[in-house]
Structure 1
C-alpha cells in the first residue's frame, strides 16, 4: 500500500484485503445463466468473456474503453495505433456486445474528441445514435502549443425505438442568479425555501457540473481514467429502472458497478486487471455502509461546488477481514 498524506482519501488495497477480494472474482469458460453472473466482477479479458455471456439480459450498457492513446493501466499498456486499426478493434467487440442487450436496452459509450470520430460510424452501424453528451473534464495541465483538452464525449444509443428515459430523475438543481416572481409575488419556477434560490432544470447534453475524482474525494483510486460516480449516476438514473441489469465490459476500478449498487440496480462488470477488480470489490463493500454519491443529494443533481452536494461522511478506507 502506498504512503499517503493525512488528508488523502484515495482507496488502497492491503495484502489482506486483496486476498479476501480475490475470492469474490469469477471468470467464464462456458455460457452462463444471468443469475450466475449478476452482481459479480468478471476478472477476464473482454474477448474471452463476451462469448459466454447470456443473450438479451442487459437493460443498460455503459462502456468506457481505452481511447486511442498510449496509456499505462497498472503495467498493461494500451498503445496508440492508426485510425483504421483502432476502428476495427472497436467494431470487433461492439458487434459482440449487441447480442447481450435486451430489445429495449440503451447504451452509452465514452470517448475523447479524437476517439469520437472513430467511434461514431461504428455505433451508427449497430445502434440508433440518439445524442452526444459533452462533459467538462476540468483536470490536468494546460498545453503549450494547442488548446487544453478539457472535455470528453458520451454517445447515447438505443437498440430500438422503445427505450427508457427518466427525465425527472436527472434534473439539475441550479442556483437562480436573477429570480423573478409572478403577479401574486410567488417564486416563478424556482424555490426560495433556503438561504439561496434554486431551480430544477431539464438535463441537456452539455454537462459542466462534473468533478473528476481526485485525492480528497472518497471515491478516488489510482486508476488513470476513472470516471466520476456522479457522471455514471446520471446515465443509470436516466436510462434504467430499479432492479435493471447494467453491464460494463471495461470496468476499471468499478465505478459503474458501485453506482448501480448504490442506486438499486443489478450489475455485471468485466475487467482484466486483478488489482482493479479487487479495488472494485472493495468499493462495492464500502457502498454497504456509505451509499452516497458526491454531487447527488435529496434526489437531484447539484451544480459543481454546491455545498450540499459536497457533504459526505468521512469513513475509514480499511476493510480487512
Structure 2
C-alpha cells in the first residue's frame, strides 16, 4: 500500500472505529509515513523485540533505536520506549531533540519463571519521553473525593501515579484469560497507567510494534483510538483475533470504562 493510500485509509477508518490494524510493515517505514501525516497523534509506543530480530543481535542497535526516536519525535508529543534496564540505559544520554526524559518508569514483577542461574530478572524499564507541547493528565488518577475538591477549587496538589507499576508476568495460570500466546506480552494493567496519564477519550495512539495488540485492547476499554502495526504476520493475526473478541464482548455487554476521565 502506497504511503498516501495508507494515510487516507487510516484517516477514513480511525474516526469510525476504535482501532485500525495495518498490513505488516517495517517499523521504520511506518514511522516515516506518519511523520508526513496531519493526524493529531498523541502517543507513539515503541516496544521492540529484545532477544532476536530487532533486539540485541543487531550491531547497530543503538543508532537504529535512536533513529526510531527521531522519527517518533516528529509524530507525537509523547513517546514511550521499552526495554530491559541495561538496554534503555544506553538511550538516556542519546535522546534526540526536541524530546526530553520525563520519567524512567519500571514494570515490576515477581513471578519470572527463569531457570537461569544467577540474578533473576524482576523488572522492565520504560522511558517516557516528551516534547515541550506534551500534556499530562494526573487528574485521571483522582478518586471521587479528590475530584470533588478539584471541582470546588480546594485540591491543594495533583498527585500522579507512582513510577513503578507492579503487575505479574502473563505466564502459567496468571492472567490466563488475557494471554494470547505472544512470547513477550505485557499486561493491560501496565499499559493502562501509561495511556491514562497521556491520553483522553478520542485521542489517537500509534503503536508500530504492536505485538499482541495490548495498546488496542486498552484503547477499547478506556476510550482512545489505536493505529496498530507489526512486521510479524502472526502477531498481526493475534492482534486481529484479540480485538475482535473484545469488541464482540463489548457489543453483547458494553464494557464499563475502567477510568473516569475528567477535563
**Which range, TM-score by smaller chain?**
0.7 to 0.9
Deviation of 1:94 after TM superposition, in Å, equals: 1.8
- How far apart, CA to CA, are the structure 2 residues paired with 1:163 and 1:126? 11
- Equivalences for residues 111-260 of structure 1 within 5 A: 111-123=83-95, 125-138=97-110, 139-144=112-117, 146-160=118-132, 162-170=133-141, 202-208=160-166, 210-216=167-173, 217-260=176-219
- How far apart, CA to CA, are the structure 1 residues paired with 2:67 and 2:83? 17
What is the TM-score when the length of structure 2 is the normalising length? 0.76
Deviation of 1:79 after TM superposition, in Å, equals: 5.5
Deviation of 1:271 after TM superposition, in Å, equals: 0.4
Partner of 2:28: 47
Structure 1 or 2: larger strand share? 1
- How far apart, CA to CA, are the structure 1 residues paired with 2:13 and 2:230? 14
Go from structure 1 to structure 2 and tell me whether the alpha carbon gap of 1:287 and 1:121 turns closer, same or farther (over 3 Å shift): same
The answer on whether the counterparts of 2:54 and 2:61 sit within 8 Å (CA) in structure 1 is no
Cα deviation, 1:69-93, whole Å, max 9, x if unaligned, reads 3x3xxxxx4462477x211111222
The answer on whether the counterparts of 2:44 and 2:75 sit within 8 Å (CA) in structure 1 is no
- How far apart, CA to CA, are the structure 2 residues paired with 1:90 and 1:261? 29
Go from structure 1 to structure 2 and tell me whether the alpha carbon gap of 1:114 and 1:37 turns closer, same or farther (over 3 Å shift): farther
Extract structure 1 runs of 4+ deviating beyond 6 A: none
- How far apart, CA to CA, are the structure 1 residues paired with 2:186 and 2:162? 19
Between structure 1 and structure 2, the one with the greater Rg is 1
The answer on whether the counterparts of 2:48 and 2:54 sit within 8 Å (CA) in structure 1 is no
The answer on whether the counterparts of 2:55 and 2:61 sit within 8 Å (CA) in structure 1 is no
Of 17, 29, 35 in structure 1, the residue corresponding to residue 2 of structure 2 is 29
- How far apart, CA to CA, are the structure 2 residues paired with 1:90 and 1:298? 33
Structure 1 or 2: larger helix share? 2
Go from structure 1 to structure 2 and tell me whether the alpha carbon gap of 1:225 and 1:116 turns closer, same or farther (over 3 Å shift): same
- How far apart, CA to CA, are the structure 2 residues paired with 1:275 and 1:114? 28
Aligned residue pairs, count: 227
SS in 2 for 1:100: coil
Go from structure 1 to structure 2 and tell me whether the alpha carbon gap of 1:297 and 1:99 turns closer, same or farther (over 3 Å shift): closer
- How far apart, CA to CA, are the structure 2 residues paired with 1:219 and 1:126? 36
The answer on whether the counterparts of 2:204 and 2:224 sit within 8 Å (CA) in structure 1 is yes
- How far apart, CA to CA, are the structure 1 residues paired with 2:161 and 2:98? 26
Deviation of 1:235 after TM superposition, in Å, equals: 0.9
Deviation of 1:298 after TM superposition, in Å, equals: 6.3
Partner of 2:224: 265
What is the TM-score when the length of structure 1 is the normalising length? 0.64
The answer on whether the counterparts of 1:56 and 1:99 sit within 8 Å (CA) in structure 2 is no
SS in 1 for 2:227: strand
Deviation of 1:289 after TM superposition, in Å, equals: 3.8
Deviation of 1:252 after TM superposition, in Å, equals: 0.7
- How far apart, CA to CA, are the structure 2 residues paired with 1:273 and 1:226? 14
Go from structure 1 to structure 2 and tell me whether the alpha carbon gap of 1:91 and 1:298 turns closer, same or farther (over 3 Å shift): closer
The answer on whether the counterparts of 2:222 and 2:257 sit within 8 Å (CA) in structure 1 is no
SS in 1 for 2:74: helix
Partner of 2:56: 80
Of 49, 53, 72 in structure 2, the residue corresponding to residue 66 of structure 1 is 49
Deviation of 1:98 after TM superposition, in Å, equals: 2.0
- How far apart, CA to CA, are the structure 1 residues paired with 2:13 and 2:257? 31
